[in-house]
């Protein structure tokens, strides 16, 4: 039965080839695969386990079941931190995204020195957040800072910004708007992809500037808007460095003031409180539970935004 | 004309803080706390820069920061290019599933894995060393791997097949065929890794305890909170020095920055 032999030899060869391909594929994948197993998958399982224990890295852990999650729900500081974080999501992100879109629209208008302006609008994104945080603490100093000095020139008495719990988060939003170069770039790329013919025919039909913006530009970039908003939500929930620096520097209270979110807890954001629990108070089990709650919050918010947003996009 | 003016005025909003930062970094302290404010320094105190960079061990911070940056760049380029090749140019069973897992890890906030990863490095006696900030760079980044994979897919498969027919091994194809054609994408990985590592505060805050290990971001943050009365002029001078390399990197590799951010749009 020569033909049967030939078939089995062929399938044998194919199997050997597949095995070889698998070996090559896995070998090239191995840096990420090892990283995934040791720095993602195992830590996820460990974190889930820690979240059910009392654990401080020094002494043995103790099983507490869902105790950490129950405590988190009752913890007034968790409530404060979630409130502050949601402020940034609900108030800050719309301001940030509308600003980025407007900046991108400005950069899309043909003006003299367009490339220079594109660079200028983007520059703040490059500044290390620690340097930017220090600079803005100085800029927002109620007495000798640049912002209030300029306001004084036009006859406005500026607020105490980082020293006033009511104004600390608006100050943070101001810094966001100043440093949102990457979102602006993404909107700009989307604006440049809108076909010029659409505007031309709309202009022939007598559509004004606002009508063109509303009926052409905004629908055409809506996919990018959704992407930007989702990215902004994820990073807003994880906001850490800038408020940490602002709190410690403006109060002069160092790391202690930073993890308490000075002034008066108004800059206590979720990840700052999580970090403080894990590494300042060494309540690592509790902090692990907080991390999973954070994951759930981000997940729910992202899904809600996508579900709310998608049905509106009839054009795309 | 109106739009030209508007573009310029908004430009001032971005530029004025930088200008004031530069000017203030050259003022004597008495100028900074003067009221009413003087925008222009009475005299230019270039010494501020010398003082700022010697008052704190800036050289030590710079060395630590550069060590981490160099290894992070090498690590990310290698450990993202290899898996990206596997996920785009090698056909193997399970490849699509691996890609899906890779993508889904991007959704996981770092806080979830942060504590166990810290415990791992604690058990390895690597707390207060630079290793926890270097080793992960060699173990693949989902973000850069995905970015490179997308780029590798745009390279015509005829080139890869021709190299295979010529008896070129898989590693040879990656190094001699794919990599030279992927220079823009590899540059993007390099500059973004440099920027994010140079700017990073959270990682060093977590792992580096003694001043001899600090990076510039930690050193600067500590310097600002150590003194009761902040020496703003020195702090601002150090902030300028800390910022300049990122701007220099941008001007050296402007296209890579813009491409990287507008096509993948992270952070």
In tens, the pLDDT along B166-216 reads 989 999 999 999 999 999 999 999 999 999 999 999 999 999 999 999 999
- pLDDT at residue B229 tops 90: no
Identify which of A28, A66, A196 has the alpha carbon closest to the alpha carbon of residue B78. A28
pLDDT value, residue A315: 44
Per-residue model confidence (pLDDT) at position A34: 98
Residues paired with A53 in a beta bridge:
A63
Residue A304 above 60 pLDDT? yes
- Among all residues of chain B, which has the CA nearest to that of A235? B267
- Say yes or no for a CB contact (<8 Å) between A134 and B108: no
Residues of A in contact with B118 (CB under 8 A): 57, 278-279
What is the nearest CA distance from A248 to chain B, expressed in angstroms? 7
Q: Are A109 and A199 in contact (CB under 8 A)?
A: no
Verify whether the Cβ–Cβ distance A32 to B139 is below 8 Å. yes
Task: Tell me the pLDDT tens digit for each residue of A43-70.
Answer: 999 999 999 999 998 888 999 999 999 9
Pairwise CA distance, residues A52 & B27, whole Å: 54
Binned at pLDDT 50, 70 and 90, residue A138 comes out as very high
Diameter of chain B by CA atoms? Answer: 77
| Residue B30 confidence (pLDDT) | 87
Where does the pLDDT of residue B264 fall: very low under 50, low under 70, confident under 90, or very high at 90 and above?
low
Lowest mean pLDDT: which of A116-125, A137-146, B7-16, B34-43? Answer: B34-43
Q: What percent of chain A shows pLDDT beyond 90?
A: 79
Residue B195: list chain A partners with CB under 8 A: 126
Question: What pLDDT shows up at residue B227?
Answer: 58
φ, ψ at A62 (rounded to 5°): -130, 130
Q: Which residue has better confidence, B266 or B209?
A: B209
- Find out whether A289 and A306 touch, Cβ atoms under 8 Å: no
- Over residues A178-189, the mean pLDDT reads 93
Nearest chain B Cα to A257, which residue? Answer: B225
pLDDT of residue A2: 54
Give per-residue pLDDT as tens, B86-137. 999 999 999 999 999 999 999 899 999 999 999 999 999 999 999 999 999 9
Cβ-based contacts of B258 with chain A (< 8 Å): 185
pLDDT tens for B41-95 read 888 999 999 999 888 899 999 999 999 999 999 999 999 999 999 999 999 999 9
Cβ distance A146 to B95 less than 8 Å, yes or no, reads no
- Chain B, residues 43-62, CB within 8 A of chain A, namely none
Is the pLDDT at B265 greater than 70, yes or no? no
Average pLDDT of every residue of chain A:
93
Structure confidence at residue B56 (pLDDT):
87
Nearest CA in chain A to B244: A127
Q: State the nearest Cα–Cα gap between B60 and chain A, in angstroms.
A: 18
Contacts of B11 in chain A (CB under 8 A): 117, 120-121
What's the pLDDT score for residue B55?
85
Higher pLDDT, A224 or B266: A224
Instruction: Measure CB to CB from residue B112 to each of A189, A284, A295 and give the nearest one.
Output: A295
Residues of chain B contacting residue A139, judged by C-beta atoms under 8 Å apart: 17, 20
Q: Over 50: is that where the pLDDT of A13 sits?
A: yes
Provide CB contacts within 8 A for A140, sequence distance 6+.
A147, A148, A161, A162, A171, A250
What are the tokens at A299?
A: 């997940």
> 146-185 in B: which are within 8 Å (CB) of A?
170, 174
> CA neighbours within 13 Å on the CB side: how many for A210?
0
Chain B residues with CB under 8 Å of A14 CB are none
Say whether residue B252 is in contact with chain A using an 8 A CB cutoff: no
Residue A285: both structure tokens together: 């089990």
A281-290 confidence digits (pLDDT tens):
999 999 999 9
The pair phi, psi for residue A54, each rounded to 5°, is -100, 120
B106 touching chain A per CB within 8 A: no
For residues B69-94, b (16+ Cβ closer than 10 Å) or e, as one string? Answer: bebbbebbbebbbbbbbbbbbbebee
Q: What's the pLDDT at B267?
A: 44
- CA distances (Å), origin A223, targets A104, A218, A312: 16, 10, 11
Give the tens place of pLDDT for each residue, A225-247: 999 999 999 999 999 999 999 99
A contacts of B221 (beta carbons < 8 Å)? 130, 134, 245, 248
Nearest to B7 among A109, A182, A248 (CB): A109
* Residues 6 or more apart in contact with residue B3 via CB below 8 angstroms: A106, A109, A111
């Amino acid at each position: 039965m020569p033909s049967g032999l030939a078939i089995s030899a062929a399938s044998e060869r194919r199997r050997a080839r597949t095995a070889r391909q698998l070996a090559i594929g896995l070998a090239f994948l191995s840096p990420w695969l090892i990283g995934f197993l040791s720095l993602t998958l195992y830590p996820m399982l460990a974190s889930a386990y820690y979240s059910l224990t009392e654990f401080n890295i020094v002494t043995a852990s103790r099983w507490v079941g869902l105790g950490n999650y129950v405590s988190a729900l009752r913890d007034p500081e968790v409530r404060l931190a979630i409130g502050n974080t949601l402020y940034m999501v609900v108030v800050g992100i719309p301001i940030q995204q509308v600003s980025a879109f407007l900046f991108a629209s400005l950069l899309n208008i043909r003006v003299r020195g367009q490339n220079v302006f594109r660079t200028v609008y983007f520059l703040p994104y490059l500044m290390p957040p620690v340097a930017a945080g220090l600079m803005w603490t100085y800029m927002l100093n109620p007495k000798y800072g640049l912002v209030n000095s300029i306001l004084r020139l036009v006859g406005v008495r500026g607020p105490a910004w980082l020293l006033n719990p009511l104004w600390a988060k608006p100050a943070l939003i101001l810094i966001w708007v100043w440093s949102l170069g990457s979102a602006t770039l993404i909107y700009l790329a989307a604006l440049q992809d809108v076909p010029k013919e659409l505007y031309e025919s709309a202009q022939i039909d007598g559509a004004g500037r606002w009508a063109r913006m509303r009926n052409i530009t905004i629908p055409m970039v809506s996919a990018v808007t959704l992407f930007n908003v989702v990215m902004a939500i994820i990073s807003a929930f994880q906001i850490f460095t800038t408020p940490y620096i602002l709190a410690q520097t403006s109060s002069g209270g160092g790391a202690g003031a930073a993890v308490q979110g000075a002034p008066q807890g108004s800059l206590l954001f979720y990840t700052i409180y999580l970090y403080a629990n894990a590494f300042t108070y060494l309540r690592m089990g509790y902090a692990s539970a907080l991390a999973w709650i954070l994951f759930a919050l981000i997940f729910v918010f992202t899904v809600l935004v996508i579900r709310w947003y998608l049905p509106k996009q009839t054009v795309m | 004309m109106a739009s030209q003016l508007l573009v310029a005025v908004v430009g001032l909003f971005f530029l004025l803080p930088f200008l004031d930062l530069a000017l203030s970094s050259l003022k004597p302290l008495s100028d900074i706390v003067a009221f009413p404010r003087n925008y222009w320094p009475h005299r230019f105190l270039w010494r501020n820069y010398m003082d700022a960079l010697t008052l704190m061990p800036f050289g030590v911070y710079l060395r630590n920061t550069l060590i981490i940056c160099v290894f992070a760049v090498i690590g990310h380029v290698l450990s993202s290019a290899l898996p990206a090749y596997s996920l785009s140019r090698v056909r193997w069973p399970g490849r699509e599933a691996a890609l899906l897992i890779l993508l889904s890890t991007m959704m996981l906030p770092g806080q979830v894995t942060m504590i166990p990863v810290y415990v791992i490095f604690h058990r390895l006696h690597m707390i207060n060393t630079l290793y926890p900030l270097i080793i992960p760079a060699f173990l693949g980044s989902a973000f850069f791997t995905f970015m490179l994979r997308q780029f590798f897919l745009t390279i015509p498969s005829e080139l890869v097949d021709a190299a295979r027919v010529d008896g070129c091994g898989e590693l040879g194809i990656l190094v001699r065929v794919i990599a030279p054609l992927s220079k823009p994408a590899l540059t993007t990985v390099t500059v973004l890794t440099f920027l994010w590592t140079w700017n990073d505060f959270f990682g060093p805050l977590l792992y580096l305890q003694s001043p001899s290990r600090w990076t510039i971001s930690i050193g600067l943050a500590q310097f600002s909170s150590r003194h009761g009365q902040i020496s703003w002029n020195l702090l601002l001078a150090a902030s300028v020095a800390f910022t300049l390399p990122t701007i220099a990197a941008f001007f050296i590799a402007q296209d890579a920055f813009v491409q990287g951010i507008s096509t993948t749009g992270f952070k």
